[in-house]
Amino acid sequence: MERAADAGAAEILMPRELVNDALREGMSVDDMCALFDVSRQAMSNRVRELHELRRWA
């Protein structure tokens, strides 16, 4: 249940499409942290999660 809550919070704070757009534009993790107002750890986890999803898509 906690994992589902974490995933939901990540999607609200760092929407998949917006993070993917930022990555395509070449933004750094630090720049995205400032843009989305999240910690470096949270953004790193989100980027890693989205990367894993793309590998399996």
pLDDT in tens, 5-22: 888 899 999 999 999 999
CA 35, 21, 46, 11 torsion-angle sign = positive
CB atoms near residue 35 (< 10 Å): 14
Would you state the pLDDT for residue 11? 95
Global pTM value: 0.85
Domain ranges in the chain?
2-56
CA 42, 14, 31, 48 torsion-angle sign = positive
CB 29 within 8 A of CB 44: yes
Q: What number of helices (H) and strands (E) belong to the chain? A: 4, 0
The structure tokens listed for 2 are: 């906690």
